Amino acid sequence: MTVAVVAIDGPAATGKSTTARYVAHELGWRYIDSGAFYRVAALLALRSDVDLDDPGDRARLRASLAEAEVEQRMVGGRLHTRLDGRDVTDAIRSPAVTRIVSRVADDPELRELVNEGLRDRVGREPAVIDGRDIGSIVFPDALLKIYLDASLEERARRRAREAEPPDRAEDPAVLASYEESLAVRDRADRARTTGALAPARDAVHVDTSELDLDTQAARILHLVRERLGETPSPTRGTP
């Protein structure tokens, strides 16, 4: 049975979250950022000094994630994540969390915990969810699966523009360091044995290298509406 989920997967810096937020807003559906759950796990790991090479520590981390109350809510156009009632929206984006999150996500049992939480949320309301394995693993029966991609150069440029002052964002050395760190994360996300970044067989591929965010989001919204039967496809119904 088709589930009321739009899955938006792809590597980092392809505009997944902006697109997902826009589509969710237009549909009146909930937006869920699945990466935030792995980031919360990474934050918990840092806070309790978890040694990711130690299976006992890994089990301790899973237990604290299972007990944690994680909520996501849109506030003023931004998705806020709360952990046990405290806002951790900025904390989960810290460089320290970003450095270890891929390794934290590299635990099949922890992934299953996150996935169960996501399925439980969707049981309650339709959602647009971005991540790496949402269409391939978490919701194989999603209404629509999108796989966003863009060249490494373009993704590095976008990340640098978000994070750096304008002169540094164009600096080739700065861009090279963004490319390097995205490439490292891509490799880790693609190589994991469970939940690896990969397009679902029936995903619609969208290369966003040449698209601005508005065009990209509008294109995907159009695809969703087509799937929902709200917008006739240009080819449908023509003689």
Q: Kindly list the residues in this chain that would bind ligand DC in the complex (CB under 6 A).
A: 12, 34-35, 38-39, 101-102, 105, 131-134, 185, 189, 195
Q: How many helices (H) and strands (E) does the chain have?
A: 9, 8
- Closest approach, Cβ 93 to ligand DC, in A, equals 8
Cβ nearer to ligand DC, comparing 10 with 157: 10
Cβ nearer to ligand DC, comparing 15 with 131: 131
In Å, what is the CA distance from 142 to each residue of 4, 100, 111, 210? Answer: 6, 29, 19, 27
Cβ nearer to ligand DC, comparing 39 with 58: 39
- Closest approach, Cβ 33 to ligand DC, in A, equals 7
Is-contact 10 148, C-beta < 8 A? yes
Cα–Cα dist 51/55, whole Å? 8
- Say whether 232 sits in a helix, a strand or coil: coil
- Closest approach, Cβ 34 to ligand DC, in A, equals 4
Nearest to 186 by CA among 9, 6, 40: 9
Is-contact 9 203, C-beta < 8 A? yes
- Say whether 55 sits in a helix, a strand or coil: helix
- Closest approach, Cβ 137 to ligand DC, in A, equals 8
- Closest approach, Cβ 55 to ligand DC, in A, equals 20
Cβ nearer to ligand DC, comparing 108 with 232: 108
Cβ nearer to ligand DC, comparing 137 with 223: 137
Is-contact 2 139, C-beta < 8 A? no
The 78-83 sheet, strands edge to edge: 70-75, 78-83, 86-87
- Closest approach, Cβ 156 to ligand DC, in A, equals 14
Cβ nearer to ligand DC, comparing 22 with 38: 38
DSSP 86-103: EE-TTGGGSHHHHHHHHH
